[in-house]
Amino acid sequence: MNRENQRSFFRLAFEHPLCAELKIIGLQDGLETKTGKIAIHDVSAGGMRFWSDIDFTNELNVLFEAKFIGLGKPYKLLGQILRIKEVKPRIYEYSSKFSLSEAEESALISLLNAMSIKLRKMKMLSSCSFCTNEELELFQLL
């Protein structure tokens, strides 16, 4: 069966993951806020795929906020976790979709295009929050 790629946006895959802070928002009052580091493997204006050592399996369809640095500028993206799978013991891969305004979507597309051009020459950019070796060890990526 030949399935076409149904994505609406250009997807930038990172050879070296981009690290971000993720916070689950919109939890019922009285529940502890869940936050943690994530390793972004690919991202588009429509969503991203990332790894985390935090088990958000009970948070499917709950909103999250992800913060990272892209080309020296902070970005904050709101999204929703769609799929979860355990890829290694206690390491989870998440697929998500974003809930962005038109302006936020446009800014993200511009960032991803600029990063794509710069990443053709280098695996990592110092002006972005790429994962350190210590963070990669945390996600069992080294």
Q: How confident is the model at residue 3 (pLDDT cuts 50, 70, 90)?
A: very low
Is the CA virtual torsion 47, 61, 94, 70 positive or negative? Answer: positive
Q: Is 116 left (phi over 0), alpha (psi -120 to 50) or beta?
A: alpha
In order of 29, 38, 44, 95, the CA distances from 87 in angstroms are 31, 14, 22, 13
| pLDDT tens per residue, range 63-77 | 899 999 999 999 999
Tokens read off for 2: 């030949």
Mean pLDDT within 72-83 = 93
pLDDT exceeds 90 at position 58: no
What domains are defined for the chain?
12-138 (2.40.10.220)
Give DSSP secondary structure letters for 97-110. EE---HHHHHHHHH
Cα–Cα distance for residue pair 112/55, rounded to 1 Å:
28
Choose among 58, 44, 52, 21: nearest CA to 98: 44
Q: How many CB atoms lie within 10 A of CB 65?
A: 16
Give the three-state DSSP class for 139. Answer: coil
Give the tens place of pLDDT for each residue, 93-126.
999 999 999 999 999 999 999 999 999 998 889 9
Q: Is the pTM of this model over 0.75?
A: yes
Amino acid (1-letter code) at residue 114? A
